[in-house]
Structure 1
Amino acid sequence: MVLEGLVALCWAAIAMAFFHSQPQLAAIYSASPSVAVNDMASVLVGPVGLVLTVIGVVICPITSGDTALRSARITIADQLHLDHKKLISRLKVALPLFFVSFGLTFIDFSLIWRYFAWSQLIVATIVLYSATAYLMKKEKHYIISFIPAIVCTLIAFAYILQAPEGLRLPSMIANIISIIATAITTIIFFKKFKK
């Protein structure tokens, strides 16, 4: 998974240099990243590099998907206390996961990506609150993680309240609700931690 992240960062840097950070890149290539990757690889690294590019851009993400589905299957089996050593037990969990994943291929990927990004923000926020609790318990400078936790909480609330895929509230109302919800979350965090 680290390899895929490095590959993505490299391609982002290459695209910025190759296309001179042009915002109209998506319009030029009809919003098809494959055309841009092909052009960059052909010009910059030649035919051998093009093969390596296919490995990095196609095969690595496939292995990430495989790892994600395997991890999900194992996590679900553990939570349901299923013995996943036998093939039939694995199939009981894997087949529904496969059908859900297959169904997601018919949904606009940009929509799924926005929900995924928002869920990752929620996970990061939880980690920041956990780090804050740990630092408070150890009587260290917890403000280092607490301020980013508050900011992430505010952003998470504000996004889902006004996003087209969220509640679609007007921005002024969404921002006011976000500030109130963040304040309530902060108060609840401190009350829970004092217990």
Structure 2
Amino acid sequence: MYSYFISVAMLISAYFIYGKYLEKNFGVDSRDTPVTTMNDGVDYVEINWKKALLIQFLNIAGLGPVTGAIAGAMWGPAAFLWIVFGCIFAGSVHDYYAGLISMRHSGKNIPELIGKYLGKGAERFIKIVTVILLIIVGIAFITGPAEIMKSYTGISKEIWLFLIAIYYIIATMLPIDKIIGKIYPIFGASLIIMVVALMASLLIKGYSIPEVSFQNLHPAGKPIFPFMFVVISCGAISGFHSTQSVLMGRCLKSEFSGRKAFYGAMIIEGIVALTWAAIAIAFFGGTEGLAQSGGGMVAISEISKSLLGKAGIILVGFGVIALPISTGDTAFRSARLTIADAVGIEQKSFKNRILVSAPLFLVAGFMSQLGFTTLWRYVAFTNQILATFTLWMCTYFLIKNNKNMFVTGVPASFMTGVMTCYILMAPEGLRMTGSVPYFGGVIVGIVSLVLVINKNKVSKNTGYLKEA
């Protein structure tokens, strides 16, 4: 029980302590931001930091810190450690610096920034990865709610797919302040209130949250490394978040708002993920009970109804329908902007927005025939690959600006090791067994950091002009 509250305290403290250091390290100042110099009334529209915080939180959350945290809880309280330290030193830094660097470069999307700092080959690769990730996230968050609504109403999945898709098209095409800027802050605040209500009910009803442990309690014996670090993405670190930081980075009037909107939103998401992981373990009496529950949507439904009664039914409806839809439409919005930037089509014109969006939704319509589970299997890999490249991009930005590069370089190296091991070991990877995947991950992770440290030394000896 104490571990949970200590973990929450650490996350909140990190915002004021480590977040403040990161702000100073980056060197935020009062220069004009993209929304001041490039306001187009569509994607570059001023939004105050309070609304931006709640929109960013909702955009990066959806069901990620709920379903991902529940899946990660299968390893037991060890999940608490990754959520806390991953959120503080990897995910929050990733989201914050991705947003700030985009603001320093006229609101450019992540692939273009990766191309600037890591080279054109990396840019081409990440453009493909990013668009695939955004489309899959968007489709998964059409398919999931549609399947749930079918079970609730008896109306066919195809009709719900059509209705949700119509909303996505409207939300993707309209200026960001028309729907997203008005409704999403309310949804974001509601999600926070619901999580607090669930935890309060859990404690009032006498459930016991286990203390932090390094022990692997996964019922199937699946290794903690690298699988838990990929399964728990939202709440620890997620590449998808960088695409959403760009959206809000185009709307903030001051760089000083970045810590509140980006680092703050990720800290809140870490608390949400930590809370759901704790609730899942406590409610089902451990990982064996959690495994028998069926996990995912089934576990969410049972927990919510049991802890909150009739209000829980509303929570389930809101959680599995409204939240994923709100994340799905911003995924498509990010995909539209990424494609538009890649091919050089400005988006102030409504006609141009249709030109880019039409083929995007045609592809999405075809892929939506796949089930939610099938789609979601491909999210984890592309998501963490994007996060790894984004961290390295941030690291090279810091090197070129003579800043402390270790704040992003160390988590980038760690994630490089995680993804290397995952590719070597995972069923959708090379399926290698034994110690080779672990050695491979450790070696590649360390070597990558050593090379960047050497790059940093060279830059200090030769001197770099500041990039921004």
Shorter-chain TM-score category?
0.7 to 0.9
**Corresponding residue of 2:402:** 138
Q: Select the residue among 9, 15, 28 that pairs with 2:280.
A: 15
The answer to which of 58-67 and 107-116 deviates more is 107-116
Say whether 1:25 aligns with 2:80.
no
Q: Conserved in 2, the CA contact under 8 Å of 1:111 and 1:165?
A: no
Query: What's the offset of the Cα at 1:179?
Result: 4.7
Query: What's the offset of the Cα at 1:45?
Result: 1.4
The answer to which of 101-110 and 79-88 deviates more is 101-110
Q: Select the residue among 119, 127, 144 that pairs with 2:382.
A: 119
Change (3 A) 1:34 1:175: closer
Say whether 1:151 aligns with 2:414.
yes
Change (3 A) 1:174 1:80: same
Change (3 A) 1:144 1:34: closer
Say whether 1:93 aligns with 2:356.
yes
Higher relative CO (Cα under 8 Å, sequence separation at least 6) belongs to 2
Instruction: Give percent identity, aligned residues only.
Output: 34
**Corresponding residue of 1:56:** 319
**Corresponding residue of 1:84:** 347
**Corresponding residue of 1:2:** 57
* Letter in structure 1 aligned against 2:57: V
Change (3 A) 1:18 1:182: closer
Query: What's the offset of the Cα at 1:132?
Result: 4.2
- Between the two proteins, the alignment pairs up a number of residues equal to 192
* Letter in structure 2 aligned against 1:74: L
Change (3 A) 1:38 1:121: closer
- RMSD (Å) for aligned C-alpha atoms: 3.3
Query: What's the offset of the Cα at 1:62?
Result: 0.7
**Corresponding residue of 2:307:** 44
Residues 59-84 of structure 1 show CA distances to partners (whole Å, capped at 9, x for unaligned) of: 11111101110121122112212133
Change (3 A) 1:85 1:111: same
Q: Secondary structure at the match of 2:427?
A: coil
Q: Secondary structure at the match of 2:346?
A: coil
Change (3 A) 1:16 1:181: closer
Give me the whole-angstrom Cα distance separating, in 2, the residues matched to 1:15 and 1:180.
35
Residues 104-160 of structure 1 show CA distances to partners (whole Å, capped at 9, x for unaligned) of: 4444645644543333333333344345442685364x4454333322211111111
Residues 86-111 of structure 1 show CA distances to partners (whole Å, capped at 9, x for unaligned) of: 44432332233223334444446456
Change (3 A) 1:43 1:181: closer
**Corresponding residue of 2:423:** 160
Q: Secondary structure at the match of 2:288?
A: coil
Change (3 A) 1:18 1:82: same
The answer to which of 110-119 and 16-25 deviates more is 110-119
**Structure 2 unaligned runs (5+)?**
1-55, 66-191, 196-271, 460-468
**Corresponding residue of 2:452:** 189
Q: Conserved in 2, the CA contact under 8 Å of 1:129 and 1:149?
A: yes
**Structure 1 unaligned runs (5+)?**
none
**Corresponding residue of 2:336:** 73
Q: Conserved in 2, the CA contact under 8 Å of 1:162 and 1:171?
A: no
Change (3 A) 1:57 1:14: farther
Give me the whole-angstrom Cα distance separating, in 2, the residues matched to 1:192 and 1:45.
55
The answer to which of 92-101 and 170-179 deviates more is 170-179
Residues 137-189 of structure 1 show CA distances to partners (whole Å, capped at 9, x for unaligned) of: 5364x445433332221111111122111233344444454455445534543
Change (3 A) 1:150 1:33: closer
Change (3 A) 1:185 1:120: same
Q: Secondary structure at the match of 1:65?
A: helix
Give me the whole-angstrom Cα distance separating, in 2, the residues matched to 1:61 and 1:159.
27
